[in-house]
Amino acid sequence: MKAVYPGSFDPLSNGHLDIIKRAAKLFDELHVLVSTNIFKKYVFTTEERIEMIKLACKDIPNVVVDASDDLVVNYCKDKHIGVIVRGMRNYSDYETEFSLFQYNRDINPKIETILLMPTTKNQVVSSSSIKELVKFNCDISKYLPKEILDVVLNKLK
């Protein structure tokens, strides 16, 4: 069975990687999809985000990295994917995920959504916080996969 884990991944965090590793154990093939959120302004290009994910996931053989400007449910239909994996850190994430689930279900009721909670050490990790910490010269090494730390620091400094 195939699943997709969509996100902006600007940049990929250890929280994202935690969800990827755990979801990859549940599915035969996991598509990590760099998707577009029209309300976000990105620091990293789509190509840079794809490359960071590929670097961090190089040892996970069933991960496919892709990008799309379309709705995730349309990507699922095109790629014959039946499950959307989402990470949920807190109550505000719940509100967002609940709305997304309802819209996705209305558009394509054949596609299921599953929510994975982060491990304790990743509950507060967010891409926007990482970018803010870099701005104030804080150590972000515990929040990012080691394979992409230099890439992120070089871009954000």
From 40, 58, 121, 146, the catalytic residue:
40
Q: pTM for the full model?
A: 0.93
Residue 40: active-site member = yes
From 54, 77, 89, 155, the catalytic residue:
89
The superfamily (CATH) of domain 2-156 is HUPs (3.40.50.620)
For residue 81 the two structure tokens come to 């994917």
Residue 121: active-site member = no
Residue 16: active-site member = yes
Residue 89: active-site member = yes
Tens digit of pLDDT at every position of the chain (157 positions): 999 999 999 999 999 999 999 999 999 999 999 998 888 899 999 999 999 999 999 999 999 999 999 999 999 999 999 999 999 887 777 888 889 899 999 999 999 999 999 887 777 788 889 999 999 999 999 999 999 999 999 998 8
So what's the pLDDT on residue 91? 75
So what's the pLDDT on residue 94? 82
State how far the Cα of 114 lies from the Cα of 6, in Å rounded to an integer. Answer: 12
> How are the residues of the chain apportioned to helix, strand and coil, as percentages rounded to the nearest 5?
45, 20, 35
From 16, 31, 49, 86, the catalytic residue:
16
So what's the pLDDT on residue 120? 78
